[in-house]
Amino acid sequence: MAKSHPQPTTQNTINRLRVCLSTHRYLYLFIAQVAGVLILGTFFISLLAIYGTSTVRKEFLDEARIIAATLDHADLSADLGHDKQLSASYQRLSDMLSKTAKADAKIRWSYLMVQQNGKVLFTVDAEPISSPDHVAPFSEYQQAPTALLQTFLSGQEKASKTYTDQWGTWVSAFIPIKDSNGQLLTVLGVDMTASTWSATVAGYCIFGTIIVCLFLFIVIFVNLISWRWRQTNHRIVDLNLTLARELDQRQQAQTLASINEEKYRNLYATMNEGVVLHKLLYDPQDEATDYEIMDANAAFATITGIKISEALGKHASQLYQTTPAPYLDIYANVVKTGIPTHFETEFSPMHKCFKISVFSPAPDYFATIFEDITEHKRAELELRHEKDNLNALFASSPVGLLLMDENLMIVESNQVLDDMLSRDRDNVIHHRAGNGLGCIHSLENVKGCGFSTSCGSCPLRQTLMQVVRDNVPVHRAEIQPTLDIQGIIQQPWLSVSAEPVLINGRKHLIVAIESITDRKQTEKELRDNEQLLNSIIENIPAMIFMKDTKNLQFKLLNKAGEAIFGKSKSAVLGKNDYDFFPRDQADFFTQKDREVLQHKQLVNIPEEPIETPNGTRFLNTKKIPLLGVDGNPEYLLGISTDITAQKNLQDELIRAKANVEAKVEQRTEELNQSQLNLQEALKTAKDETAKITTILDSIGDGVFVLDADRNIILANPVTLELSGFTRKDLLGHPYNHVLQFVDEKTGKDVSEFMDTVFTRGQVAEMGEQTLLIRQDGSKLPVADSAAPLKDLNGAVIGCVVVFRDATKQREIDHMKNEFVATASHQLRTPLTALRWILELLPKPEIGPLNPTQARYVDRLHASTLRLIDIVNDLLNLSRLENGKIDLKLEPINLLEQTTVVINNIRAMAYERGIKVECKAPPGPLPHILADRTHLQAVIQNLIANAVKYSLERGMVEVDLSLVGDRIQFKCRDDGIGIPKTQQKQIFSKFFRADNAIAQTTLGTGLGLAIAKMIIERMGGKIWFHAIVGKGSTFYFELPVARLEFK
C-alpha cells in the first residue's frame, strides 16, 4: 500500500534556508573567532611591548649609570684644555667613555655635556679626535632633545624618547654626575640608535607574536575541520533519507512480487517468526467466512507443529478445527481497511499464546507474522499469581505488612498496619518508609528511605537499609521510632522483620511490623519490680542468702551478708560453707540445710556462732526451702540476724548487775585518789615552769620569745644584760620597737629575717655582720638564730630568738684576715727582692755573665716566678675557701676580656709556634655578670694551660657563644689531653696530670681549682672534655647580666 506523499515546496524552501543560514552562521562565528584572537593578541603584544620598553629603558639607564660611575670625579672637575691641546684629564675621560661604550654593542656613542648660559655644550666625546664624528669640546649641541634639557633642569636622570639630531635618530640616556656637595658637574649622554632600540624592544614581543599566530592558526584549523565535518554530515543525512525512501518502495514491491514468486521462501525461511499468507474467502453476501492458507514458512511449522504441506490450501476453520476461523473478524477488517494491526492472544486449541501482526499485501490477501509468547505469558501469569498470593497474604496476615521497593518506597501495605498506625492507606502507599509510617523526623523529599539526613542513626532506617544492601533478612528487630499517630507524638515499640524478595526482577522488601509496646511495658514493669525487690533484699539489715539445692553453693548474698561474712559478694557466690568455715561448723550448717530441704520446712536456729574476719558473730538464722513448680525445693533461702551486740549487751548486763555494788565502792575510792592526783599534778606543773625558767636564766646566750603578733613574751637575764633594757621595757612590746638588729656595713635594719621564721616556719640566721643597738645607743656585734614555735597542727604560733655577743669572734676573724694579708706580704717581699735582682743580673750594665751563669740566673728567675705564683695562688685559694674574697660582680664584655688575655699570651704562644684564635658569633654578645679581675685570671689560666700543653705548632681555639641565658666560653687545644683515669681529679688542689708533669715542670696545680671556685662563686659552671693525645677542651658558662649598663 505505497502512498506517495508529495513534499510541500514551502517546507523544502525552509529547509534549504536553514542549511543556508547555518552555513552563514558558521561563517560569522569563524570571523568573530579570528577577530577575537586578533584583538586579544594585539592587546597581549602591546602589553609585552610596554613591558619591553620599560625593561629596556631601565637596563639602558642602569648601564649609563655604570658608565657614569667609572668616571673619575677629579678628572671631571679638572681643566679639559681646549680643542687644539686637550688635557690629560680629557684624554682619560674620553678613553674611559669609549672603553665602556664599546663594551656594549648596543651603545653607539657616549659623551659629556655641560650647560652654560642656557646652551648645552659638549665637553668630552668618546670618539677619538681622529674620528670624523668627533665633536670638539665646548661646541654647542643645538638640537639638544627635551629630555636632556630636563636633566639639566632637574638634575634627575632621564631616558629620552626617539629624537633626531644632525647625526641621526637616537634614544639616549642622560645621567647627571654630581660632586660630593650635590653640585651638578656634568651630564653623561649615552646614545643608542633608534633602530637598535626598536630591535631590542621587538625582542620582547616576538614570543607574544608567535603565540598569537599559533592561536590564529589553531582557530582556522579547527574551523576548517568542523566545516568539512558538517559538509560530510549533511551529505550522509541526505543519503539516508533517499535510501529510506527507496527501501520503502522496494519493500512493498518485493512483498507484492513475493506473492507471485518463489523467492520469498528464501527470504522468510530463516525467520524465527512464523509467516503465513492467507486469502480471505467471502460468501455471496460479500461477508468474510473463512480464509485459506496460501503459504507459510519453516518457522510456522516449528511453532504450530503443523506440517506446511498439510496446511497449504486448507481453510483455516478446517485446519484449526474452529468455527469460525480464528480471528476472522480482525483479519477481515485488516483486508478491508488496509491498516495493519497486531494483537496478543491465547490460542486455546494449541494451548499456546501468540503475538500476531497482520497486514494486507494485496486486496483479499493478508499475511500474519506470529511468534510464540507462551513462556512469556506463563511467567506473566505466574507473576500475577504471585501478586495475588501476596495480596492474599497482606489481606490475611495478623501482623502489619509492608511491601517496599529498594528505594524504601512503600508499594503496598495491609489493613492491620494501617490500623496499627491509624493511617489512611493513601498516606502510606507511594510514600517512603519513614514518611509512610508517620515518623516525625522524615522528609518526603530526601532520597532513600525518606528519613532526613539527621536520622543517620535511626535504627529503623539502618535495619531496612541493611536488608537492601546485604540482601539478608532481619528478624524481629526491636525499634522505638517517634511517630505521629493521629496527631499525637508517640514512641511505640515495634518489632520489625524484613525479608528481601524479587518481584518482576526487582528487589523488594517485605516488612512485617508488630506493635510490642504492651509487651515492652510489661517487661519494664517486671524489671522495675525485680529491681525494687532486689534493692529491698540488698538493703535489708538482716543477712539474706540463697543456696542452690545441689551443692549448697551461694547464689545470692545481700549487703548485710557481706558485712557479716567480711567478704565481698564476688568472693562468696558460687562457693559453699566449706570454703569459709572450719570443717565441723560447715558440717553442722550443711546438715541443717539438708534437713530443711528434706522436710520442706522452715528451720529456726536461734543462736549460732560463726567465725568471721571480724571475730565471732552470733546469728539468729531462719532457713526456708523455696519450692519450684514441681513442688520440690529449688533453692534454700536463709535469713540471719546478727545478734552479737544484743548478746554482748545481755552478758554485760548480767555482769554489771553482779558487780554494781563493788563498782560503786571502787569509784568512790577512785574519786578520792584522783583528787590527790590533781594536787600532785599541779605541784609538778609548777615545778616544770620553775625548771624551764631556771634553764633559761642560766643559759649563757640571750634568749627571748615572741608570740604570733611578734610581741616579746619572755626574755632571759642575758638578753637584758646584752641589750641593756629592763624586762619591763621588753615584755609585751613588739620586739622591733625595742630590739634593733642592724647590718654592720649598711646600718640597715635586718630584723625582717625573723619574718621568714613566721612565714616559712623555718629556722633563720642573721647575717654575719649583725649589730644589736643597745639601750644606750652603743652597738654590739651579735650572732644569732631564730626558730619557729609550732602548735600541734604545725601552725607557727611564735618564735624563739637566741643571740650572743660576737665581739670576740669578729675580732678573731679580723685578725685572721690581717694575718693572711700580712703573711703574704712578708712572703712576697723577699721573693720580690730575689726576682728583681735576678732580673738585674743579666743586664750588660752590671757586667757580663758567662753562658752557664746566664743560664743559671735564668733558671733561678723561673723558679722564683713559680714560687711567687704559688704564693699568690695559695693566698687566693685560702681567701676563696674562707669566702673572704668579695667578688665585685659587674656587666663585662667577655669577648673584650678574652681578647686582652689572648694578646698577653700571644708572645708566649708565638715562641712555641702555636696559633691562638678567637671566634665569636657576629654581632655583640650580651654582657656577663662577673668580677673583672678574677674572670681575667680564669681566662688567663685556661688559655695559658691550652698553650702550655699544646704540641709545637699546635692550635688553640677560643669560641664564645650564647647558650640560653648564659654565655659559654670554650677553649680547645690539640695538645696532650688528660688521661681518663685522672680526669676526675683535674679540679683538685695541687693536682697535675702525669702527662702534664712530664711536659713541663711549671705549674702550681692550683690554677684549675681556683678557676672552678671563682666560676662557681660567680654562679657559673666549668667542665671539660679531653682525650689523651688528641687535646682538651675546657668550657665555662656564666649568666648573662640582666640589665645592660652603659
Residues contributing to the site for another protein (CB under 8 A): 817, 821-822, 824-825, 828-833, 835-837, 839-840, 843, 845-846, 868, 871-872, 885-886
Q: Report the nearest approach of another protein to the CB of residue 844 (Å).
A: 10
Cα 29 to Cα 223: distance, rounded to the nearest angstrom: 9
Q: Report the nearest approach of another protein to the CB of residue 824 (Å).
A: 7
Percent helix, strand and coil across the chain, each rounded to 5? 50, 25, 25
Query: DSSP code of 8?
Result: P
- Residue nearer to another protein on the CB measure, 265 or 835: 835
Q: Report the nearest approach of another protein to the CB of residue 884 (Å).
A: 8
Residues 6+ apart with CB under 8 A from 630: none
Residue 82: C-alpha distances to residues 122, 272, 515, 1036 (Å) = 12, 120, 124, 73
Query: DSSP code of 246?
Result: H
- Residue nearer to another protein on the CB measure, 94 or 940: 940
Query: DSSP code of 711?
Result: B
- Residue nearer to another protein on the CB measure, 275 or 1018: 1018
- Residue nearer to another protein on the CB measure, 319 or 880: 880
- Residue nearer to another protein on the CB measure, 315 or 835: 835
Cβ pair 648, 609 in contact under 8 A: no
- Residue nearer to another protein on the CB measure, 169 or 822: 822
Q: Report the nearest approach of another protein to the CB of residue 755 (Å).
A: 31
Phi-psi label, residue 128: left if phi above 0, alpha if psi -120 to 50, beta otherwise: beta
Question: What residues does 641 pair with on adjacent strands?
Answer: 620
- Residue nearer to another protein on the CB measure, 843 or 1046: 843
Side chain identity at residue 121, one-letter code? L
Which grid coordinates belong to 876?
Answer: 687566693
> 177-213 burial by CB neighbour count: b if 16+ within 10 A, else e?
beeeeeeebbbbbbbbbbebbeebbeebbeebeeebe
The SS3 assignment for 541 reads coil
- Residue nearer to another protein on the CB measure, 814 or 919: 814
Q: Report the nearest approach of another protein to the CB of residue 839 (Å).
A: 4
Cβ pair 803, 784 in contact under 8 A: yes
Question: What residues does 970 pair with on adjacent strands?
Answer: 959, 1035
Q: Report the nearest approach of another protein to the CB of residue 843 (Å).
A: 7
The SS3 assignment for 113 reads strand
- Residue nearer to another protein on the CB measure, 325 or 885: 885
Q: Report the nearest approach of another protein to the CB of residue 710 (Å).
A: 35
Q: Report the nearest approach of another protein to the CB of residue 864 (Å).
A: 9
Cα 619 to Cα 608: distance, rounded to the nearest angstrom: 5
Q: Report the nearest approach of another protein to the CB of residue 1012 (Å).
A: 21
Closest to 627 (Cα-Cα) out of 640, 619, 638, 637: 637
Residue 798: C-alpha distances to residues 422, 714, 790 (Å) = 86, 11, 7
Q: Report the nearest approach of another protein to the CB of residue 835 (Å).
A: 7
> 956-973 burial by CB neighbour count: b if 16+ within 10 A, else e?
bbbbbeeeeebbbbbbbb
Which grid coordinates belong to 112?
Answer: 659629556
Q: Report the nearest approach of another protein to the CB of residue 822 (Å).
A: 8
- Residue nearer to another protein on the CB measure, 418 or 744: 744
Going by their DSSP bridges, the two strands 915-919 and 955-963 should be labelled as: parallel
- Give the E-state strand segments of 731-831 in sequence order: 740-743, 764-765, 770-773, 779-790, 796-805
**SS3 track for 544-584:** EEEEECCCCCEEEECHHHHHHHCCCHHHHCCCCHHHCCCHH
Q: Report the nearest approach of another protein to the CB of residue 990 (Å).
A: 20
Q: Report the nearest approach of another protein to the CB of residue 740 (Å).
A: 23
- Give the E-state strand segments of 826-975 in sequence order: 889-892, 915-919, 928-931, 955-963, 966-973
- Residue nearer to another protein on the CB measure, 289 or 824: 824
**Helix-then-strand count for the chain, H and E:** 30, 37
Cα 607 to Cα 585: distance, rounded to the nearest angstrom: 13
- Residue nearer to another protein on the CB measure, 621 or 876: 876
Maximum CA pair distance of the chain?
Answer: 183
Going by their DSSP bridges, the two strands 494-503 and 488-490 should be labelled as: unpaired
Q: Report the nearest approach of another protein to the CB of residue 904 (Å).
A: 13
Closest to 871 (Cα-Cα) out of 821, 815, 905: 821
DSSP state string for 37-66: HHHHHHHHHHHHHHHHHHHHHHHHHHHHHH
- Residue nearer to another protein on the CB measure, 253 or 862: 862
Cα 303 to Cα 319: distance, rounded to the nearest angstrom: 15
- Residue nearer to another protein on the CB measure, 491 or 882: 882
Q: Report the nearest approach of another protein to the CB of residue 872 (Å).
A: 7
Q: Report the nearest approach of another protein to the CB of residue 720 (Å).
A: 32
Q: Report the nearest approach of another protein to the CB of residue 174 (Å).
A: 57
- Residue nearer to another protein on the CB measure, 876 or 1032: 876
Cα 936 to Cα 939: distance, rounded to the nearest angstrom: 5
Q: Report the nearest approach of another protein to the CB of residue 1005 (Å).
A: 19
- Residue nearer to another protein on the CB measure, 731 or 871: 871
Question: What residues does 917 pair with on adjacent strands?
Answer: 957
Which grid coordinates belong to 879?
Answer: 681567701
- Residue nearer to another protein on the CB measure, 553 or 824: 824
Residues 6+ apart with CB under 8 A from 792: none
Question: What residues does 1039 pair with on adjacent strands?
Answer: 966
Question: What residues does 544 pair with on adjacent strands?
Answer: 639
- Residue nearer to another protein on the CB measure, 262 or 845: 845
